[in-house]
Amino acid sequence: MTIDLKGRVAIVTGAGGGLGRSHAIALARHGARVVVNDLSAAACDAVAAEITAAGGEAVPWTCSVTDREGVFAMVAGVVERWGRIDILVNNAGILRDRTFANMDLDDFALVVDVHLMGSVNLTKAAWPHMRDRGYGRVIFTTSSSGLYGNFGQANYGAAKMALVGLMQTLALEGRKFDIRVNCLAPSAATRMTEGLYSDDDLKGLSTDLVSPGVVALAAESAPTRTILLAGAGAFEQAHITMTRGIHVGDAPDAAEQIRAQWARIADRTEEQVPESGAAQYTHEIGHPDRAVVGALDAA
């Protein structure tokens, strides 16, 4: 069945071009009213006009996601205009690539501020409205650089992985209010990839091929606590997992046992995706190896 977003209101940050533009157009095509947010007023106006010309409904809104007062004012203005906020697509971002040894800490802080705190600012502003209505779909833009690492992107990777941690907790806190929180890790040719990769490397990585993932995560039937990877028309899912591991107790040679059993600790045969952080110590307290150790001690 076609995903119907009629009556829903979405805010897309960084929507003046690239992925954000594609996301905004895709959401509008499925019926959502879209707030096109970007630093560039001209870019916001152009994308909003493009949506309107295609029969959709959109308004431009210029402010930086790092401007907390500006973001809160945007959310208040959207609620005043349309009475609700249903969908947040936290997409705005920048790059300041350099090896960690050569990276200026101001550039590290700036990237974290835009990607992480920019997402926090918008989500914090909209969260009470979503709670009051008992509905919300929040999408954070993570990255393979955060999930798996990428040379020269310590700041970007740290910010992007932080968004996964934010998602994990907000998904738990939002569950009883039907606020579903997910992450998207896109692969696409954008302004941020210019000069970093060749045209051949970026062939087929249209931003438009990522945006169906955003629509799916914005739908009423969306999952929650999902990390969706998307690029070139392909979609995958990433997981933060925990292996079965080993139990060594308070053995005097515990460190040596760990060193000797890295392969067993890393064995993914019985790995699990924990429901929350509490699952780690619950597993450790009741580790299956305890029974074996106890039986040996008794013998």
pLDDT value, residue 295: 47
Arithmetic mean of pLDDT over the chain: 94
The structure's pTM equals 0.92
- Residues in CB range of 152: below 8 A, 6 or more apart: 97, 98, 99
Residue 226: phi, psi to the nearest 5? -110, 140
Strand partners, 232: none
Count of residues making up the chain: 299
* Residues labelled as active-site residues: 156
pLDDT value, residue 205: 86
User: What confidence tens digit (pLDDT) does each residue in 45-91 have?
Assistant: 999 999 999 999 999 999 999 999 999 999 999 999 999 999 999 99
pLDDT value, residue 290: 80
Q: What percent of the chain has pLDDT over 70?
A: 92
pLDDT value, residue 299: 45
pLDDT value, residue 198: 52
Among the four given CATH numbers 3.40.50.720, 3.40.50.300, 3.40.50.410, 3.30.420.40, the one describing domain 9-238: 3.40.50.720
Angle at the Cα of 57 (from 55 to 62), degrees rounded to 5? 130
Instruction: Tally Cβ neighbours within 10 Å of residue 299.
Output: 5
Continuous segment of H or E residues that includes residue 90: strand 87-90
- Residue 192 has what DSSP assignment? G
Q: Is 273 helix (H, G, I), strand (E, B) or coil?
A: coil
- Residue 113 has what DSSP assignment? I
- Residue 239 has what DSSP assignment? -
Spans of the chain, pLDDT less than 70: 190-203, 291-299
Nearest to 211 by CA among 238, 231, 183: 231
The domain limits of the chain are: 9-238, 254-298
